[in-house]
Amino acid sequence: MGIMRMGYAHVRVTDLAEAKDHYANTMGLYQTLEQDGRVYYKGWDEWDHHSVVLEEGGVGVVKFGFKVEYESDLDVIEKKAQQFGLTVERMSAGENPEVSDGIRFITPSEHVLEVYHGQTVIGTEVGTHNPDAFPRHLVGIGVPALDHALIFAEDVRLMENMFREVFDYFPTERVQTDLDDDDAHFIASWMTSNNQIHQIAILEGEQSKLHHFAFKLQDWNEVGRAADIMTMDDVPIDIGPTRHGITRGQTVYFFDPSGNRNEVFAGGYPAYRDRPINKWTPDQIAKGIFYHARELNERFTTVYT
Amino acid sequence: MAIVTVDPSGEEIYLPADQTVLGGLYAAGYAYTIGCRRGGCGVCKVDLLEGGVTYDHPVADDVLSREERQEGVCLTCRAVPDGDITVRFRSGSLRLVQPLLRSLNEKSRLQAAASAPQPKE
């Protein structure tokens, strides 16, 4: 069955105490472990041990983890990655606390990706036995789960090919200079393995950099409430609440205390492999990114970690 | 407190103690090109011509390199002036977008100047 989802984002922060306050008290994540200068978190509706890892020192992304359904999927993906020309190494269980063995490789965009088949199961905060709809005492925004990330790459088409061939992802939307794929230059691509509208997006830009990583929310009401909490906690809001034309998701972009961009993201229509790709031309990219303002702020492509 | 002088216009802006350069300029009604406001992106850098600053948070080396620090590059969202400083803006000039705040700041600056100990003749 292959890749199920982006399982974790491991990021650097300049001040661990401030970062912990943000991710625990503003975002409402649950801390599951603190060890060797790293802090591990999960959202209330996640069952695996962690989906966010913070590490003190610097800014930006260390690596992303992607979870496959079966252990045997690792062999398949390792082989496909090698066929694509990537250098793949095996990682052993416990290299990442509470994470199974797996594989690791560096993408053409110079991001580190890990693929694993298991994490220690903690269970959601509502359990599985006659569960309630949500936990009663959520903190801050109370995000249920990690959703996706947007990364930069010099060569978006190459990255799209990599995710297609190695992860069996398919693109749901794209920004391209020509509607004919063969003639087009790809500026950005949104990709997934299932009905989730995107698990990863790639935008043309500086290698190895992070644009944002996003947490899931349900709807406009939750996105609006999230923005209210950000104001209460003096979190710098980049833009929003607004809608993305691309994916149709409702969003707030904001910054963590180290300047890493976060997003809360709700909605997005269901993705299918046989649904024709939505294609955006560069002259309409502003409407694609920020559907209401229809104007890109100067930060969208210049501010990143 | 500190006075931030903007080169080459000579505008003088009053900053209360412990306020960052970015925070002080925005509180005085000015705007310029900024990014994350939390020290991660490096977009709000200016050139420090005179005076020194102290960073109130750790700043990542790949945001502000050792060479840049030595050359007097100032990451304004995290920099608190040690005393009066003179800065020059890089891309796009500093623009006044809230004259009301600017006039309040001018009063603070004049008050601070009046209460400062006079140099002895």
Residue A50 designated active-site: no
Q: Which of B33, B36, B62 sits opposite A298 (nearest CB)?
A: B33
Distance CA A4, CA A8 (A): 12
Residue A206 designated active-site: no
Q: Does B65 touch chain A (CB under 8 A)?
A: no
Residue B96's pLDDT is what?
Answer: 78
Chain A residues near residue B39 by CB distance under 8 angstroms: 14, 59, 258-259
State how beta strands B45-50 and B73-75 pair: antiparallel
Residue A282's pLDDT is what?
Answer: 87
Give the pair of three-digit tokens for residue A133: 């709809």
Does B41 contact A58 at a Cβ distance shorter than 8 Å?
no
Give the pair of three-digit tokens for residue A21: 């306050």
The percentage of residues in chain B with a pLDDT greater than 70, rounded to a whole number, is 95
Q: Which CATH class is domain B2-110?
A: alpha beta
Among chain A, residues having any CB pair with chain B shorter than 8 Å are: 12, 14-15, 18, 57-60, 236, 238, 255-261, 298-299, 302-305
Chain B residues near residue A236 by CB distance under 8 angstroms: 36-38
Q: Which of A15, A58, A259 sits opposite B36 (nearest CB)?
A: A259
Distance CA A250, CA A243 (A): 4
Residue A263 designated active-site: yes
Minimum distance, in Å, between the CA of residue B9 and any CA atom of chain A: 25
Residue B54's pLDDT is what?
Answer: 96
User: A300 to each of A13, A35, A205, A286, A289, how far by Cα in Å?
Assistant: 21, 34, 11, 10, 9
- Give the confidence band of B93 by pLDDT, cuts at 50, 70, 90: low
Mean pLDDT of B80-91: 93
Residue B6 has pLDDT above 80, yes or no: yes
DSSP3 helix / strand / coil % (chain B, rounded to 5): 25, 25, 50
- pLDDT tens string, chain A, 305 residues long: the values are 799 999 999 999 999 999 999 999 999 999 999 999 999 999 999 999 999 999 999 999 999 999 999 999 999 999 999 999 999 999 999 999 999 999 999 999 999 999 999 999 999 999 999 999 999 999 999 999 999 999 999 999 999 999 999 999 999 999 999 999 999 999 999 999 999 999 999 999 999 999 999 999 999 999 999 999 999 999 999 999 999 999 999 999 999 999 999 999 999 999 999 999 999 998 899 999 999 999 888 788 889 99
The per-residue pLDDT for range B18-51, each reduced to its tens digit, is 999 999 999 999 999 899 999 999 999 999 999 9
- Give the confidence band of B119 by pLDDT, cuts at 50, 70, 90: low
Give the pair of three-digit tokens for residue A197: 């509208």
CA atoms within 13 A on the CB side of A120: 13
Residue B102's pLDDT is what?
Answer: 78
Does B38 contact A257 at a Cβ distance shorter than 8 Å?
yes
Q: Does B104 touch chain A (CB under 8 A)?
A: no
Mean pLDDT of B64-69: 95
Residue among A198, A204, A222, A304 flagged as catalytic? A198
Q: Does B92 touch chain A (CB under 8 A)?
A: no
DSSP strand E in chain B: where? 2-7, 12-15, 30-31, 45-50, 53-55, 73-75, 79-81, 85-88, 95-96
Minimum distance, in Å, between the CA of residue A197 and any CA atom of chain B: 27
Residue A198 designated active-site: yes
Residue A39's pLDDT is what?
Answer: 98
- Contact between B13 and B104 under an 8 Å Cβ cutoff? The reply is no
Pick from B20, B32, B36 the residue to mutate for testing the A interface (most A CBs within 10 Å).
B36
Single-letter amino acid, residue A220: W
Domains along chain A with CATH numbers: 3-116 (3.10.180.10), 146-289 (3.10.180.10)
The partner residues of A67 in beta bridges, in order of sequence, read: A5, A116
Does A58 contact B60 at a Cβ distance shorter than 8 Å?
yes
Residue B120 has pLDDT above 80, yes or no: no
Task: With a threshold of 0.85, tell me whether the complex ipTM lies above it.
Answer: no
